[in-house]
Homo-oligomer: A and B are copies of this chain.
Amino acid sequence: MTDSYQQLQSADAATLRRAIRSGTYTGHTAGLGRGCLQANIVILPESAALDFMRYCQRNPKPCPITGVSDTGNPMMQTMGHDIDIRTDVSAYNVYIDGKLDRSLTSISDIWRDDLVAFALGCSFTFENALQQSGFSIWHIDANKTVPMFRSSIDTVPAGPFSGKMVVSMRTVPEARVDEVVAISRRYPLAHGAPVHVGDPSAIGIADLSRPDWGDAAPLSAGHVPVFWACGVTPQVAIEAARLPLCITHKPGHMLVSDIPEDAENPILSSNSNHKS
């Protein structure tokens, strides 16, 4: 038995994760679990975890940390109820020595006592906010993948982690750029304000029609390209670090948490405290 994307569109996060855990849904999560924070996943041995956490702290726009597991404990306790990172993501990529080795729909068989799981905020959050403010987002409307580019912006290194920042591009009517900057800046856990507006060559992008990942987006008259720090950045840093083992979500197949997208911070228990 399988669940279809359509069937799950109105499902809450817990229902969606149950379908994923039981293997009845293995698709992408864009547009699902509406209203809940989704996250990129990086799982690596504890020996590299402090350096990776420092890398994320130093590069908060591409790598906003929303949750970290205890070493060897697969439960993401602060991001929701009963989230088991071994089974609750719909597809995983396994890297050996920095190279993509295979994709899996569960990592229960390869989980180890020395692994630490990190969740990093993703762009779905600010894209929803932009849509709610009346902006149309080409890659969503056209059912494509957002165009992503390796920029010339260096990330701040930490231990073995380093590399250029990957950026994603959306086009915006020139007159509304300030509005887009202000809206996305409200979501520091979803990459925050853009890293660049306008001329792509200023950040090392030679040709907008040839993205390094995703699909090329048209640039309509009166629109300007706007670039945000992208969650693929840590993946590039991970490849450079050539860890013996690293597991990520498969792009588009995010962890869907129980944290409301507009929460002040991504911690379940403190969210229950900050309203008086």
* Residue positions of A touching B, CB distance < 8 A: 46, 49-50, 53-54, 57-61, 65, 67-68, 70-71, 77-78, 116, 153-154, 156, 158-159, 185, 188, 192-198, 264-265, 267, 269-270, 273-274, 276
Contacts and interface: CB of A to CB of B under 8 A. Distances in A.
A91 to B, nearest CB: 26
**What's the number of copies of this chain in the assembled complex?**
2
B192 A276 contact: no
Given A61-B270, A61-B274, A193-B264, 4 more contacts: A50-B116, A60-B267, A188-B265, A196-B273
A192 B192 CA distance: 16
A65 B265 CA distance: 13
Nearest to A177: B276
A47 B96 CA distance: 26
Contacts of A193: 264, 274
A196 B275 CA distance: 7
Contacts of A50: 46, 49-50, 53, 71, 116
A179 to B, nearest CB: 14
A49 B65 CA distance: 16
Given A53-B50, A59-B270, A274-B194, A264 B78 contact: no
A267 B57 CA distance: 9
A265 B61 contact: yes
A193 B274 CA distance: 7
28 contacts: A46-B50, A49-B50, A50-B71, A50-B116, A57-B67, A57-B68, A58-B68, A58-B78, A58-B267, A59-B270, A60-B267, A60-B270, A61-B265, A70-B158, A70-B159, A77-B156, A156-B267, A188-B188, A188-B264, A192-B264, A192-B265, A192-B274, A194-B274, A194-B276, A195-B270, A195-B273, A195-B274, A197-B276
